[in-house]
Amino acid sequence: MRLRRKVCLLGAPGVGKTSLVRRFVENEFDQDHDSSIAMTISKGTIEVGDISLEMMLWDPEGSEARGQFNRSFISGASGLVFVVDGTKPGTLDHLLEAQTKGRGFIGARPAILMVNKADLTADFALTKAQVDAAGKLDWPLVRASAKSGDNVDGAFTKLAELMLEVRKESA
């Protein structure tokens, strides 16, 4: 069975949303990548059992993070990927604040929290308190690296499983 679902990426500018999408879809990393302009929609497929789940990945421009948390962007999304930069603690604080403000329309959609740049262990700066606060959101937290590819496919697979679980429950 083949399904197609909208997935939105959310996070502060520069956290690596586009790089994570590119690693997942094309298995590539571009060190000199420029921020996204407007909206990029990419397609990535995950196989879960006998289901082929085609994810339409909505990646907003990097310069205006607040626009991500609006009804029209998230409307119709079956899943959400919240992305933070593990070397910049402010990106998690920004996300937690924006998530609180947008909770009414973000709703109970399946979501994961990807902490990008996990390969930069010496520069990792998230505090235990921040990670604990993020853990209260009921989103699986995945440390990943767009650069090395570590855990990127696993994170999208986890989201696919959560989305298919919701589908089963509503059937």
Report, at the CATH architecture level, how domain 2-170 is classified.
3-Layer(aba) Sandwich (3.40)
150: Cβ contacts below 8 Å, ≥ 6 apart: 118, 119, 143, 144
Pick the range with the lowest mean pLDDT from 3-12, 26-35, 87-96: 26-35
Q: How far apart are CA 61 and CA 18, in angstroms?
A: 9
Assess whether pLDDT exceeds 60 at residue 104: no
Are 73 and 60 in contact by the 8 Å Cβ rule? The answer is yes
Mean pLDDT of the chain: 85
Whole-number pLDDT of residue 63: 46
**pTM, 2 dp:** 0.88
Over residues 92-96, mean pLDDT: 81
Are 62 and 13 in contact by the 8 Å Cβ rule? The answer is yes
Domain boundary assignment for the chain: 2-170
Identify the burial level of 166 via C-beta atoms within 10 angstroms of its C-beta, where 0-12 means exposed, 13-18 middle and 19 or more buried: middle
Q: Would you place residue 36 in the very low, low, confident or very high pLDDT band (cuts 50, 70, 90)? A: low
Over residues 155-171, mean pLDDT: 89
Q: How far apart are CA 16 and CA 104, in angstroms?
A: 26
Q: How far apart are CA 78 and CA 109, in angstroms?
A: 6
Pick the range with the lowest mean pLDDT from 45-49, 128-132, 144-148: 128-132
Whole-number pLDDT of residue 169: 77
